[in-house]
Amino acid sequence: MKDELTVVTGAGGFIGGALVAEFRRQGYGKIRAVDIKPVEEWYQVFGDVENLVLDLNLKENCETAAKDAYQIYNLAANMGGMGFIENNKALCMLSVLINTHMLQAAKQFDVARFFYSSSACVYNGDKQRDPNNPGLKEEDAYPALAEDGYGWEKLFSERMCRHFHEDFGMYTRVARFHNVYGPNGTWDGGREKAPAAICRKVIEAKVSGRHEIVIWGDGTRTRSFMYIDDCVKGIQLIMNSDILEPLNLGSSEMVTVNQLVDIVEEIAGIKLQRKYDLTAPKGVMGRNSENTLIRQYLNWEPNIPLRTGLEKTYAWIYDQYMACKQQPVAMVQ
């Protein structure tokens, strides 16, 4: 397999870039990395990889991406944190073009294996009203009441993968990601997720001397957060498994938003006054990954402690933040 062509779409993004890096580390000789962003905006770029800038909303570009591939990891999508998802529902829905065209291209070129990155946003919202969420089982996606926009697109694309397997015999695998975080990801600009946003806000408070932080919501909502190394390992395990159904890929270590802030404050060595913005996008009350099936199928589950992952993430974002502050301001003529 390492001598065959592996294609990663969304490779200029956080998870895609980490996946390409891991394939290189493992000795994969032929990797095609594809993203819509200019290469200089990719989070990780490697000179020994075939890097293509393509808009995969377009069918012909998906054919270019898929040609000669042995396996495809389709991570390309319009997405971000809750602020982005709630304010860009149509844009998130349009990602259905990407997976549909990539599946068609994979079928056209007889691609042996196809992986699709879904999301915990597919789960029924009525099952996420309790902050003491016992964990979302894979069966809880139905009856369907997904996150408006982004979640519905992911659920539809899951079904598309299923039917391409049933109707055309394609090898398709699907993982439902639960809040992935870590270095080399989005940490500002509006698309960042909670761990990166909290790290940045704590760093801003510490550097500026203004010891306060604005938290979206009242801080009692619960989530689990999976470190990027666990995500990359899980992707490969699921791709190379016999599992046909979508599978949770997430940590079961659930915390409140307030507890998430507590951990980052401890890492930074600071305590901040908290202000709660009850008008900001907040998402569901409680979401956690129920990992019985992944343990049963793979004898493994994401296991890197949140504190451990946050220490690495905080250090990386701190370096990025300070580097940005030290950039010279262009003179205005």
What amino acid positions are annotated as catalytic residues? 150
CA distances from 47 to 31, 40, 256 (A): 11, 12, 41
Neighbours of 128 (CB within 10 A): 23
Please, what's the b/e burial string for 51-85 (b: 16 or more CB within 10 A of its CB; e: otherwise)? bbebebbeeebbbebbeebbbbbbbbbbbbbbbbb
DSSP sequence for 112-127: SEEEEEEEGGGS-GGG
Query: 91-98: which pairs have CB atoms within 8 A and are 24 or more residues apart?
Result: 92/149, 92/150, 92/153, 93/149, 93/150, 93/152, 93/153, 94/57, 94/153, 95/153, 95/157, 96/153, 96/156, 96/157, 97/56, 97/57, 98/9, 98/56, 98/57, 98/62, 98/74
Helix axes 257-268, 194-208, angle to 10 degrees: 40
Give the chain's end-to-end CA distance (angstroms, integer): 56
Dihedral in degrees, nearest 10, Cα atoms 306, 309, 313, 315 = 110
